């Protein structure tokens, strides 16, 4: 059925309905007129016309009127979104790089704080060692004035005469005020850079212990450990004092456990790299500075 036939069908139905009514004659003329108007205007009726076309709006011409393919428009929109995602991705990468740089700064600051804390701990440990050494000295001096058997122990004034009787196979012996110092090279006692006694250490210490027992059975004796500056440069002052203290303790163990000398006769002092005998610039100077000194005091115990 064409559009014109459909347009005529509606007014004809209207005419038939009017005729069926009792007032059909009165409105017959009106119905005929309506039919004529319908036939005349069917091509202009917006409801009976062909495909509907709408007038252009103020927004602008439609995509079909512009001659743009809808697929091209959709592709352009997708391209725009991809470009937006790329921009966001670049921003995220930039922010990530900045965060990594900031994290690296924090890591470096943390490493610096840790190093400063380690240095502070070493300084505290060195101060603690020095305090213990001073306390040992004070105790040694106090012990020299204690009463034994109802009589006060008096300092021995014959150290110089007794020291002249020492025969230690080339070990240097020197007078230091009212004290006598016996220097033993650490290289003859310990493995390099350690407090581990080597096998020949007994051959060095046994004769020394025998003469100390014979000539100075009641004298207070300090065992002082010295190092060169290598330990202080590599591990700090604490490392140098720790090595000196460990080596002095090892000698104390040999003199008391192996040689049977009284433990109360000795005390240890860790001097570290202090008081070098020679400059540390040469290997010979450093070797001379690595030593154990047995210091014989005039006080008795």
Q: Which domain holds residue 277?
A: 166-300
Work out the pLDDT band at 65, boundaries 50, 70, 90: low
Residues 266 and 177 both lie in one domain: yes
Q: Which is higher by pLDDT, 298 or 160?
A: 298
Residue 46 resides in a domain: no
Token pair listed for 119? 């240095």
Predicted confidence (pLDDT) at residue 268 exceeds the cutoff of 50 = yes
Cα distances (Å, whole numbers) of residue 127 to 113, 114, 121, 134, 213: 21, 20, 10, 10, 34
3-state secondary structure of 166: coil
Q: What is the pLDDT of residue 293?
A: 97
Beta-bridged to residue 173, according to DSSP, are: 182
Predicted confidence (pLDDT) at residue 277 exceeds the cutoff of 70 = yes
Each residue's pLDDT tens digit, 205-259: 999 999 999 999 999 999 999 999 887 667 666 888 999 999 999 999 999 999 9
Predicted confidence (pLDDT) at residue 18 exceeds the cutoff of 80 = no
Averaged pLDDT of the chain: 78
Neighbours of 186 (CB within 10 A): 26
For residue 38, give every residue at least 6 positions away whose Cβ sits within 8 Å of its Cβ, in sequence order, or none.
7, 8, 10, 11
Q: What is the pLDDT of residue 42?
A: 43
Residues 84 and 130 both lie in one domain: yes
Q: What is the pLDDT of residue 70?
A: 75
Cα distances (Å, whole numbers) of residue 79 to 67, 69, 74, 254: 20, 15, 9, 87
Residues 214 and 259 both lie in one domain: yes
Q: What is the pLDDT of residue 201?
A: 95
Residues 239 and 282 both lie in one domain: yes
Rounded-to-integer distance, Cα 136 and Cα 153, Å: 19
Residues 134 and 184 both lie in one domain: no
Count: domains in the chain: 2
Work out the pLDDT band at 119, boundaries 50, 70, 90: confident
Q: What is the pLDDT of residue 10?
A: 55
Q: What is the pLDDT of residue 6?
A: 54
Residues 178 and 296 both lie in one domain: yes
Q: What is the pLDDT of residue 43?
A: 47
Predicted confidence (pLDDT) at residue 60 exceeds the cutoff of 50 = yes
166 and 173 Cβ atoms separated by less than 8 Å: yes
Each residue's pLDDT tens digit, 193-209: 899 999 999 999 999 99
Of the three residues 145, 175, 191, the one that is the final residue of a domain is 145
Predicted confidence (pLDDT) at residue 39 exceeds the cutoff of 50 = no
């Amino acid at each position: 059925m064409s559009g014109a036939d459909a347009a005529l069908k509606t007014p004809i139905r209207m005419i038939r309905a009017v005729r069926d009514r009792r007032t059909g004659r009165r409105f017959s003329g009106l119905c005929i007129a309506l039919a004529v108007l319908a036939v005349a205007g069917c091509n202009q009726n917006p409801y009976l016309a062909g495909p509907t076309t709408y007038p252009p709006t103020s927004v602008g011409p439609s995509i079909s009127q512009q001659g743009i393919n809808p697929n091209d428009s959709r592709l352009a929109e997708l391209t725009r979104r991809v470009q937006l995602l790329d921009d966001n991705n670049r921003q995220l990468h930039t922010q990530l790089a900045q965060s990594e740089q900031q994290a690296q700064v924090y890591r470096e600051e943390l490493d610096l704080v840790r190093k400063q804390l380690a240095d502070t701990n070493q300084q505290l440990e060195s101060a603690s060692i020095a305090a213990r050494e001073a306390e040992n000295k004070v105790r040694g001096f106090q012990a020299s004035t204690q009463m034994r058997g109802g009589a006060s122990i008096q300092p021995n004034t014959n150290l110089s005469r007794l020291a002249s009787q020492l025969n230690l196979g080339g070990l240097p012996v020197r007078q230091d005020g009212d004290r006598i110092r016996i220097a033993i090279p650490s290289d003859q006692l310990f493995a390099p850079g350690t407090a581990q006694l080597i096998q020949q250490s007994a051959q060095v210490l046994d004769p020394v212990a025998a003469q100390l027992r014979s000539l100075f059975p009641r004298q207070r004796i300090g065992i002082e450990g010295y190092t060169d500056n290598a330990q202080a440069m590599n591990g700090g002052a604490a490392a140098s004092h720790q090595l000196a203290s460990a080596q002095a303790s090892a000698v104390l163990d040999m003199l008391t456990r192996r040689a049977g000398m009284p433990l109360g006769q000795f005390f240890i002092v860790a001097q570290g790299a202090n008081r070098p005998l020679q400059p540390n610039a040469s290997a010979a100077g450093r070797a001379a500075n690595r030593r154990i000194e047995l210091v014989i005091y005039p006080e008795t115990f």
